[in-house]
Amino acid sequence: MPAQQRQFLEAQPAPSTDALGCSASKLALNQEFHGGGLTFYRKSTDNERFGNVATPASDRGFLVGVAMRGGHRRRILHGNHASTHDFDQGSIYIRDFTDDYRADLQGGFDFMLIELSRDFIERVNDEKGGPRVSSLLPRAGEGDAVLAHLSQVLAGVVADPAASSSLFVDHLSLAIGTHVLGQYGAGATSGWADTGGARVLSRKLEARAKDMLLATLRENASIADIAEACNLSRSYFIKAFRQTVGTTPHRWLLEQRVQKAQELLRVPGRSITDVALLCGFADQAHMTRVFTSVVGVSPGAWRRENVG
């Protein structure tokens, strides 16, 4: 090879890869969202010959992948050995970032990916009680109906983060963390530790929690903030709130926002878009979805039926 051509080839930049070792230019969908202490990705391609992915060992924690559709196969390299795995819709894989990872991806794919840091795992350990989990067991190609369902919800969050409140993302992240540690954590037990007796909030703590939730119409407080103000763990707070009020904090807040929307919809001349923003919804479409789920009809239909 002529020296000039060799120098030209050596000067070419390496193909761009993302944080998970994928060639970004080959992805048809490449989304990322941080929330609830987790990092979520959605990556998809119709490229039947996507090629290799590789990430060097690091202390980032663990990665859980959930196949959103079937037809994908990957050959995972383990030193001088390799194993091949087929993925149907709802199949998962779990890998530890402390291991070098190399895989050959065959067939198109669509994955929801959840990155769990070690700090997040420690936090869930503190809240769930029982034996502590220090690592997750590797998996490749096994089905998980719970994660498959949660990933469908996640897809909407990652696609449009502004439409989901931090309270909802906190709930979702905690549900994912609890399930993953319970099912795949080394030495883990499923479910929450039973401390005995009913978990209820005192009237003072109930009032404080509701005041902070209502303040999220202006300030987007998180479950962790409210639990800390009540001197409780997130998990205990969520369960105690539900036991006391009869619904989750997120659902209660949505119902309060819908009640406020009903009051404002009675005001002549006020647009539904204005009502949505005043009540803390991302936009009119977001309010319509929530309003319909709570009341049973759309804001416009409710206004026509109840406002003369």
Query: What does the pLDDT look like over 80-104, one tens digit per residue?
Result: 788 999 999 999 999 988 888 899 9
Q: Is 101 helix (H, G, I), strand (E, B) or coil?
A: strand
- Report if residue 9 sits inside a domain: no
Q: Which helix (H) or strand (E) holds 226?
A: helix 223-229
Looking at the structure, tell me whether residues 59 and 208 fall in a common domain.
no
Alpha helices (H) along 77-165: 118-128, 145-159
Expressed as residue numbers, the domain containing 288 is 254-306
Instruction: Using alpha carbons only, give the angle 116, 120, 123 rounded to the nearest 5 degrees.
Output: 150
Q: Is 55 helix (H, G, I), strand (E, B) or coil?
A: strand
Question: Which one has a higher pLDDT value, 127 or 81?
Answer: 81
d(CA 56, CA 126): 30
From 152, 184, 216, the end of a domain falls on 184
Total tally of structural domains belonging to the chain: 3
Half-sphere exposure of 175 (CA within 13 A, CB side): 15
- Report if residue 168 sits inside a domain: yes
Looking at the structure, tell me whether residues 258 and 231 fall in a common domain.
no
**Which pLDDT value is given to residue 78?**
80
Q: What is the CATH number of the domain that holds 263?
A: 1.10.10.60
- Do the beta carbons of residue 291 and residue 302 sit within 8 Å? yes
Q: What is the CATH number of the domain that holds 84?
A: 2.60.120.280
**Which pLDDT value is given to residue 246?**
84
- Report if residue 273 sits inside a domain: yes
Place of tokens 């990652």: 158
* Whole-number percent of the chain with pLDDT over 70: 88
Looking at the structure, tell me whether residues 140 and 264 fall in a common domain.
no
Looking at the structure, tell me whether residues 229 and 272 fall in a common domain.
no
- Report if residue 166 sits inside a domain: yes
- Report if residue 192 sits inside a domain: no
Looking at the structure, tell me whether residues 54 and 166 fall in a common domain.
yes
Looking at the structure, tell me whether residues 166 and 287 fall in a common domain.
no
- Do the beta carbons of residue 99 and residue 57 sit within 8 Å? yes
- Do the beta carbons of residue 159 and residue 31 sit within 8 Å? yes
Looking at the structure, tell me whether residues 79 and 163 fall in a common domain.
yes
d(CA 206, CA 262): 24
- The rounded mean pLDDT for the chain is 84
Residue 116 pLDDT > 80? yes
- pTM: predicted TM-score of the whole model, two decimal places: 0.68
Looking at the structure, tell me whether residues 149 and 230 fall in a common domain.
no
State mean pLDDT over 43-51.
88
Q: Which helix (H) or strand (E) holds 66?
A: strand 62-67
Looking at the structure, tell me whether residues 79 and 132 fall in a common domain.
yes
**Which pLDDT value is given to residue 18?**
83
Looking at the structure, tell me whether residues 275 and 162 fall in a common domain.
no
- Report if residue 193 sits inside a domain: no
Residue 192 pLDDT > 70? no
- Report if residue 49 sits inside a domain: yes
Give pLDDT tens digits for 141-161. Answer: 999 999 999 999 999 999 999
d(CA 34, CA 105): 26
From 246, 269, 297, the end of a domain falls on 246
Looking at the structure, tell me whether residues 163 and 19 fall in a common domain.
yes
Looking at the structure, tell me whether residues 234 and 260 fall in a common domain.
no
Q: How far is CA 196 from CA 31, 181, 237, 290, in A?
A: 43, 22, 15, 35
Give pLDDT tens digits for 7-45. Answer: 433 444 444 778 888 888 889 999 999 998 999 999 999
- Report if residue 58 sits inside a domain: yes
Give pLDDT tens digits for 205-263. Answer: 999 999 999 887 655 667 888 888 888 877 788 878 888 988 888 888 889 999 999 99
Q: Which helix (H) or strand (E) holds 13?
A: none
Name the band, by pLDDT with cuts 50, 70 and 90, for residue 50.
Answer: confident
**Which pLDDT value is given to residue 218?**
57
